[in-house]
Chain A
Amino acid sequence: MDIVVENLTKRFGAQKAVDNISFRVRTGEVLGFLGPNGAGKTTTMKAITTYLTPNEGNIFVGPHSVREQPDEVKKNIGYLPENNPLYPDMPMIDYLRFVAKMQGITGEKIRERIHDMIRICGLEGEKHKKIGELSKGYQQRVGLAQALIHDPQVLILDEPTSGLDPNQIVEIRELIKKIGREKTVILSSHILAEVEATCDRIMIINRGRIVADGTARDLRRHSEGREVLRVRIEDADSNEVFQALRGIAAIGLVDPLGTGTGFFEVQSKPELSARRDIFRLCVDKGWMLTEMSPIETKLEDIFRELTMN
């Protein structure tokens, strides 16, 4: 089920939290929302879940509009809000049963679904505890279980791994990836590595606007535009190599890394690649080329570049 956001604008008083954004998420896609705090990620997600009504624009989940058929939208969405609100006094099983009934599941099917959720989310040993007695990681799993219990086509997860330890983060990511194959998933985060690890597509939002949209690779390519290589040339005089590299037409900048190590950082001119030229140079001169690796721009850098003004 696709999610289509059309010209969504959401104002709080005079401030525009989300400013005329449009995008589409396709079935089987995991979209990562990135952005600094207060960029409009949560507002956009709340609008998709019908919790906030847009001031302008519309959102469609499958064929249903959040304005005209909010109940149909709600039925198809599994939602894990920020900070994972739960009823701490409720036993976990009772809570899942409550959510299942609220989602309109009836009869034998309720027990079946609860059983499935406990298995999928790994809650086996904690079945009879109250939610408040569970560790944070298990509470997060309960949050995911309640979002998944009615087998929704669309999953909206607002910072699903916040407050978890590294092992739990990996587990939750694996779970999201597994689920994401058949469903449409939007998740938000400000941990870049997480988005890169879980999402097929990344959207960076800043001040209520989309500033970048694409796969992690697209974003890198888009942002750098020029190639940076780390080269090691041995059995040669550093100065000579340095001069020779500068002589290659496609190379814009050469930076020796340390003296006598043979390492160089080479930046090509825009839209050009110097890899072949460097190889040929080494062959001609009889130098030993022992390393040549492209240096990727870190997602962090792209993020900072796009969101700092």
Chain B
Amino acid sequence: MSKIWTIANRELHTFFDSLIAYIMIIAFLGFSGFFTWLYGADIFFVKQASLQSFFNIAYWTLFFFIPALTMRLFAEENRSGTLELLLTKPVSDWEVVLGKFLSTFFLILIALALTLPYYITVASIGPVDHGAVWSGYLGLILMSAAYISIGIYTSSISSNQIVGYLLALFIGIFFQIIFVMLAGNFTGLIGETLNYLSISTHFDSVSRGVIDTKDLIYFLTIIFLGMLLTEANLARKRL
């Protein structure tokens, strides 16, 4: 357990030392702040004390930012050969995968925590549905975890970071929007299945405040599958 934390801690330091973390946080706050407060369907346009517009924009910004964070996690170590050193230390592959996952997860948590002033501001403007805000945050956290898991998997496929990034976006876009769009064209079982596969369906239902075990199981399954495939990729190198 302490080794997982050691790995996560090292990765987190790398994020901050290499400025990736600052750039990501500033860009994330900038984008989401701009569209939440200043432009388009912002809070003043909607005229409701709700963070719904923030959640909608964060849903998309995180989708693009997360693969940029995860792409180097395994690809870089693979290229430089440090992965070999890491895996010949007394740690299991799972500990390495979990450590890397947690580092990015913490970074996203930090970024989301920095948007709490939005919440405080909105709460001071008008009556806010506090439950909806917290479940909105929960939705963002769950979807982030799912995309981190996918991103880590694509990073472990090759030693090229760009491949990792693009592949994560390619896989992600299906969960993000394509499944739900296709679902509109089908009825019956196929339509329902596609709908169930889409992250947006589950994100909407969680962020609306309906936290169903069905949704939780969905997110946990994606997270687990991503890590399982990553672990399989690491194990395959030994053969």
| A residues apposed to B, CB below 8 Å | 46, 49-53, 71, 74-75, 77, 79, 81-83, 85-87, 89-90, 94, 98-99, 101-104, 146
Of all chain B residues, the one with the shortest Cβ separation from A143 is B85
Interface string of B1-29 (1 = CB under 8 A from A): 01100110010011001100000000000
B10, B13, B88, B238: which contacts A53 (Cβ < 8 A)? B238
Q: How far is the CA of A52 from the CA of B234 in the complex (A)?
A: 11
**Contact between chains at B84 and A53 (CB < 8 Å):** no
Residues of A within 8 A of B221 (CB): none
Q: Is the CB of B80 within 8 A of A89?
A: no
- In the complex where A51-B87, A81-B84 touch, is A89 in contact with B17 (Cβ < 8 A)? yes
Contacting residue for A50 out of B3, B6, B82, B88, CB 8 A: B88
User: What are the residues of chain A within 8 A of B214 when measuring CB–CB?
Assistant: none
Residues of B close to A98: CB separation below 8 A: 6, 10
Chain A residues within 8 Å of B14, by CB: 87, 89-90
Known contacts A53-B238, A79-B88, A102-B91, then 13 further A-B pairs from the complex at CB < 8 Å, ordered by chain A residue:
A75-B90, A79-B85, A81-B85, A85-B81, A85-B82, A86-B80, A87-B82, A90-B13, A90-B17, A98-B10, A99-B89, A102-B86, A104-B3
Closest B residue to A74 using CB positions = B90
With the chains together, A92 CA to B13 CA distance in Å?
14
Residues of chain A within 8 A (CB-CB) of B10 are 90, 98
Interchain CB contact (< 8 A) of B3 among A46, A89, A101? A101
Across the A-B interface, how many residue pairs have beta carbons closer than 8 Å? Answer: 62
85-103 of chain B: CB within 8 A of chain A: 85-92
Q: In the complex, are the beta carbons of A53 and B90 less than 8 A apart?
A: no
Closest to A72 in B: B90
If A51-B238, A52-B238, A89-B18 touch, does A102 touch B90 (CB 8 Å cutoff)? yes
- Which interface residue of B7, B80, B89, B238 has the most chain A CB atoms within 10 A? B89
CB of B239 within 8 A of chain A?
A: yes
Measured CB to CB, the nearest residue on chain A to B91 is A102
Distance A71 CA – B7 CA, assembled complex (angstroms): 17
Q: Which residues of B contact A52 (CB under 8 A)?
A: 238-239
B89 and A74 contacting across the interface, CB-CB below 8 Å: yes
Chain A residues lying within 8 Å of B84, measured Cβ to Cβ, are 46, 51, 81, 85
Give the Cβ gap from B99 to chain A, nearest Cβ, in Å. 10
Cα A90 to Cα B238 with chains together (Å): 27
Complex interface: chain B residues within 8 A of A77 (CB): 88
**Nearest chain A CB to B5's CB is how many angstroms away?**
9
Q: Say how far B239's CB is from chain A's closest CB, in angstroms.
A: 6
Q: List 30 A-B contacts (CB under 8 A).
A: A49-B88, A50-B88, A51-B84, A51-B87, A52-B238, A52-B239, A71-B90, A74-B89, A75-B90, A79-B88, A81-B84, A81-B85, A85-B84, A85-B85, A86-B80, A87-B14, A87-B80, A89-B14, A89-B17, A89-B18, A90-B10, A94-B13, A101-B3, A102-B3, A102-B7, A102-B86, A102-B89, A102-B91, A103-B89, A104-B3
CB distance from A243 to the nearest CB of B (A): 64
Per-position binary interface string of chain B over residues 204-239, scored 1 when its CB falls under 8 Å from any chain A CB and 0 otherwise: 000000000000000000000000000000000011
* Complex-state Cα separation, A83 to B3, whole angstroms: 25
Contacts of B18 in A (CB 8 A): 89
Closest A residue to B6 by beta carbon equals A101
Residues of A within 8 A of B90 (CB): 71, 74-75, 102-104
Interface contact B6-A81, CB-CB below 8 Å = no
CA distance A99 to B89 in the complex (A): 8
**Chain A residues with Cβ under 8 A from B88's Cβ?**
49-51, 74, 77, 79, 81
Q: How far is the CB of A145 from chain B (nearest CB, A)?
A: 13
- List residues of chain A with CB within 8 A of the CB of B92: 71
Separation of A49 and B88 alpha carbons in the complex (Å): 6
Instruction: List residues of chain A with CB within 8 A of the CB of B85.
Output: 79, 81, 85, 146
Give complex CA distance A298, B67 in Å: 57
Q: How far is the CA of A79 from the CA of B91 in the complex (A)?
A: 14
Shortest Cβ-Cβ A-B pairs, 7 listed: A85-B81, A74-B90, A102-B89, A101-B6, A85-B82, A49-B88, A53-B238
Q: Give every chain A residue within 8 A of B87 (Cβ-Cβ).
A: 51
Q: Whose C-beta in chain A lies nearest to the C-beta of B5?
A: A101
Q: How far is the CA of A102 from the CA of B95 in the complex (A)?
A: 11
- The residue of chain A having its C-beta at the shortest distance from the C-beta of B14 within the complex is A89
Contact (Cβ within 8 A) B82 A86: yes
Residue among A49, A53, A102, A146 with the highest chain B CB neighbour number at 10 A: A102
Task: Give the most central of B2, B3, B80, B85: most A CB within 10 Å.
Answer: B85
Q: How far is the CB of A271 from chain B (nearest CB, A)?
A: 47
How far is the CB of A250 from the nearest CB of chain B, in Å? Answer: 54
* Bound Cα distance from A85 to B80, whole angstroms: 6
